[in-house]
């Protein structure tokens, strides 16, 4: 077994000038003071919670020196020094995020939507178009779940491989320069125990991508020491088998101490060079780090660290050792360093105060307006005493937040409910304006608000020649994917069995041989990092289709989809986008793990993604085209039992589109509206024909997309005609069928038009047993649909439709 690389004694060539070293020292001092003052701000009640990067400063300075324009970071919430060193985070912005300032200029990373320490650069212009990513430093938007930054890191690095090996991408200079960009990841030592870390490490080793992972190891995970986290208590020793050896690809593994300035500079410089030039993944294990203030503001590390450990941490604090290094090498005098430290402290204090003034000032202005309006409304009101008391209490609020203001105004209006005055109307108008502003502050950008929103893609209907061939459904998809691979070099697909055999249902059959392995690629069995691979690549301007082989396996990647992809545009307030498409298949087949329809889970967890549920492959191909013309993340759930069913092949494949949020009426009827999607469309249409034979005309509507859902109110218009509705699907009771009912009854105001109780027809609460009988007795059948509709009509016309 190869030995983990030790650093050379000859470090000439990586040491900055004295001026640059002192610049690093000042940044370290600024970052440390920001941590110390930030903690105090939380304890003073000016912020909810704080987590800081103290003790990690020196390693981050070294990483910043190796980081180049065009590179990407995917890290975690202790990387403030790194972001400051790049010039991508000012102290004022740092405190603006701590205070949750909702102005994107104040907090460019998240516009106050994330707690402090969540870093992101803005990849997009205000109109949602891409900036030139190769001309700037890039940080993918952070998320809190431990190790969840790793799958995306893999994708950011994989994008460089795609850009280097796909010749059709050479002209996309705003996204990559020959794949030279390195993806830098940071993670705490305890988080390396997570499965996402190991899966990502393995995948990067297989793929051989330019990924550098820096592990900040301070010996603990909150209160738990390394011996409880990691085999051998040392992650680089535990991963030694991943190290590359002669003739065998793998990782370069480097171990370095977090207080050793020269060693850190060399480690990160060498790692960057190896990854950038050779597309070799590198792991840097930074040991002997400290955490001077403990894990966070929620507790003290004195509770679980021994006195000896605490003394050691004080003596080996990286900033103290940096000062000793500077003095030992006569780079500056003690007086000069004292002056730098004083300047750093003064700068942090000044910018902190500016951040607080900017944050609190806007709220105080709103508070002042509200107080004046409430006082005015109190004059002449029978509730004058109460209203004046409200206004006085609001005016005296220490460190007010918007909740204090808006809550008081709403309570005031409740007290004014019997009054009719101009002052009351002005208060109501003010509240309406504030609610609109607050929607932008707290609720905008769940979906794309750019001109490339999927809602803006023009519908183009499929066309069919007179002699259009009847082909297997999978051949329609195959034709579309072939067209897209031919016409858009940014498009590529990957997943388990997607490459050589063309996926298990053959929609990519022959396309790897035709377009190359970099465009149609096999992966290992690793759903979480398949999703991460897609997210990272999409963040860099590519258009990946990431395949999850069966819908039931989505659970492996659900965290990445929910915590990262679905919330990306929201949590950056339109600053980043990752328009990847997840391709999967499900609905009816046979067996507990291959017939899943967990749509309720998807609808709850993936708000922020478009969820498409095509009934056949012609519809699916049109949906792919729509999404690829948009800038939104999406999931398309194909019908698992539809690949061999015959469909006519459209003559305008690759050109036609299917609109999102627009249901299609598949069959007109006057007696009852039946709303469904996916494989259930065939079941319902068969049932509708049999119902017609006995005198019941059912209007069948395919919703086509569950998110967004019927934005034009097509279902409501149908119910106004039929006065009855059933929502049918294959999810569990209370799942997607209940979602559809809520969307229509509450969102489309159809209650006044109902002459019968609205019903749902879901599957059983369990998964289907194996065999066709399992499907029949677990999910709605033709007979179930007929009997449900007949029962509804029996209540209306018992003589015409007597009980069965």
Catalytic residues: 594
The number of residues making up the chain comes to 804
CA 660 distance to own-chain centroid: 21
**DSSP three-state, residue 5:** strand
In our burial notation (b when 16+ CB lie closer than 10 A, e otherwise), range 487-499 reads eebbbbbbbbbbb
Residues contacting 311, CB < 8 A, separation 6+: none
Give the single-character DSSP code of 549. S
DSSP 374-431: HHHHHTT-TTHHHHHHHHHHHHT-SS--HHHHHHHHHHHHHHTTT---HHHHHHHHHH
With beta carbons less than 8 A apart as the criterion, state whether 57 and 26 touch.
no
With beta carbons less than 8 A apart as the criterion, state whether 673 and 697 touch.
no
335 burial via Cβ count (<10 Å: 0-12, 13-18, 19+): exposed
> How far is CA 591 from each of CA 89, 556, 601, rounded to the nearest angstrom?
52, 19, 19
3-state helix, strand, coil in the chain (%, to 5): 45, 15, 40
Residues contacting 581, CB < 8 A, separation 6+: 534, 543, 544, 545, 546, 624, 627, 628, 633, 634, 635, 636
With beta carbons less than 8 A apart as the criterion, state whether 59 and 289 touch.
yes
User: Where are any strands of DSSP class E within 145-304?
Assistant: 183-188, 211-216, 220-221, 224-225, 252-257, 282-287
Residues contacting 485, CB < 8 A, separation 6+: 491, 492, 511, 514, 515, 519, 520
**DSSP three-state, residue 254:** strand
Cis peptide before 708 (omega within 30 of 0): yes
Please say whether the dihedral angle defined by the alpha carbons of residues 322, 328, 331 and 337, taken in this order, is positive or negative.
positive
């Amino acid at each position: 077994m190869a030995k983990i690389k030790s650093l050379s004694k000859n470090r000439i060539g990586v040491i900055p000038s004295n001026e640059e070293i002192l610049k690093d020292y000042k940044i370290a001092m600024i970052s440390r003071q920001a941590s110390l003052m930030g903690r105090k701000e939380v304890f003073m009640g000016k912020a909810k919670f704080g987590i800081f990067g103290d003790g990690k400063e020196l390693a981050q300075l070294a990483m910043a020196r190796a980081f180049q324009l065009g590179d990407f970071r995917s890290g975690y919430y202790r990387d403030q020094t790194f972001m400051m060193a790049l010039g991508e985070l000012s102290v004022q912005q740092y405190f603006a995020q701590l205070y949750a300032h909702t102005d994107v200029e104040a907090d460019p990373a998240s516009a106050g939507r994330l707690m402090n320490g969540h870093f992101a650069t803005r990849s997009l212009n205000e109109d949602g178009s891409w900036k030139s990513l190769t001309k700037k430093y890039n940080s993918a938007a952070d998320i809190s779940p431990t190790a969840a930054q790793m799958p995306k890191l893999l994708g950011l690095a994989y994008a460089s491989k795609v850009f280097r090996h796909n010749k059709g991408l050479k002209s996309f200079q705003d996204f990559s320069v020959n794949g030279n960009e390195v993806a830098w990841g940071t993670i705490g030592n305890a988080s390396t125990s997570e499965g996402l870390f190991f899966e990502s490490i393995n995948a990067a080793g297989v793929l051989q991508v330019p990924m550098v992972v820096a592990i900040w190891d301070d010996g603990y995970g909150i209160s738990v020491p390394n011996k409880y986290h990691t085999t051998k208590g040392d992650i680089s020793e535990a991963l030694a088998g991943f190290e590359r050896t002669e003739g065998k690809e793998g990782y370069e593994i480097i171990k370095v101490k977090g207080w050793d300035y020269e060693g850190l500079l060399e480690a990160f410089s060498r790692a960057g060079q190896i990854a950038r030039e050779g597309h070799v993944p590198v792991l840097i294990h930074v040991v002997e780090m400290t955490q001077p203030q403990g894990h966070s503001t929620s507790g003290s590390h004195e509770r679980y660290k021994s006195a000896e450990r605490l003394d050691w941490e004080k003596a080996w604090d990286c900033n103290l050792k940096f000062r000793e290094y500077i003095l030992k090498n006569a780079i500056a005098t003690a007086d000069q360093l004292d002056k730098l430290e004083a300047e750093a402290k003064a700068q942090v204090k000044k910018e902190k105060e500016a951040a607080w003034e900017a944050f609190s000032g806007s709220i105080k202005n709103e508070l002042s307006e509200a107080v004046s309006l409430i006082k005015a409304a109190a004059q002449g009101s029978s509730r004058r005493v109460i209203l004046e008391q409200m206004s006085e209490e609001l005016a005296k609020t220490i460190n007010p937040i918007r909740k204090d203001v808006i809550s008081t105004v709403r309570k005031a209006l409740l007290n004014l409910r019997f009054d009719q005055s101009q002052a009351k109307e002005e208060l109501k108008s003010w509240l309406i304006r504030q609610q609109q502003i607050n929607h932008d502050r707290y609720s905008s950008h769940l979906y794309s608000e750019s001109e490339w929103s999927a809602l803006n893609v023009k519908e183009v209907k499929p066309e069919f020649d007179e002699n259009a061939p009847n082909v297997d459904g999978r051949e329609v998809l195959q034709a579309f994917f072939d067209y897209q691979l031919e016409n858009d070099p940014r498009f590529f697909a990957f997943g388990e069995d997607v490459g050589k055999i063309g996926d298990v249902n053959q929609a990519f059959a022959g396309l790897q041989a035709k377009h190359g392995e970099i465009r149609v690629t096999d992966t290992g069995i690793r759903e979480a990092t398949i999703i991460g691979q897609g997210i990272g690549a999409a963040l860099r301007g590519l258009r990946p289709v990431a395949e999850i082989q069966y819908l039931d396996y989505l659970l492996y990647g659900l965290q990445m989809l929910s915590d990262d992809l679905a919330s990306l545009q929201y949590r950056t307030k339109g600053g980043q986008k990752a328009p990847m498409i997840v391709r999967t298949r499900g609905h009816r087949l046979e067996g507990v793990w291959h017939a899943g329809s967990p749509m309720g889970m998807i609808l709850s967890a993936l708000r922020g993604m478009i969820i498409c549920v095509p009934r056949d492959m012609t519809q699916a191909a049109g949906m792919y085209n729509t999404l690829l013309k948009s800038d939104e993340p999406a999931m398309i759930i194909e019908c698992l039992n539809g690949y061999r069913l015959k469909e006519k092949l459209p003559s305008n494949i690759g050109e036609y589109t299917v609109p999102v949020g627009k249901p299609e009426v598949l069959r007109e009827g006057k007696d009852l509206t039946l709303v469904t999607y996916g494989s259930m469309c065939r079941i319902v249409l068969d049932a509708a024909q049999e119902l017609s034979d006995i005198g019941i005309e059912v209007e069948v509507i395919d919703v086509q997309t569950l998110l967004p859902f019927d934005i034009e109110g097509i279902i409501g218009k149908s119910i106004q005609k039929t006065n009855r509705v059933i929502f049918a699907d294959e999810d569990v009771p209370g799942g997607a069928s209940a979602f559809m009912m809520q969307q229509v009854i509450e969102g489309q105001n159809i209650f006044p038009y109902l002459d019968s109780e609205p019903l749902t027809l879901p599957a059983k609460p369990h998964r289907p047993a194996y065999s066709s009988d399992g499907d029949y007795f677990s999910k709605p059948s033709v007979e179930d649909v007929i009997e449900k509709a007949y029962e509804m009509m029996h209540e209306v016309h018992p003589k015409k439709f007597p009980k069965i």
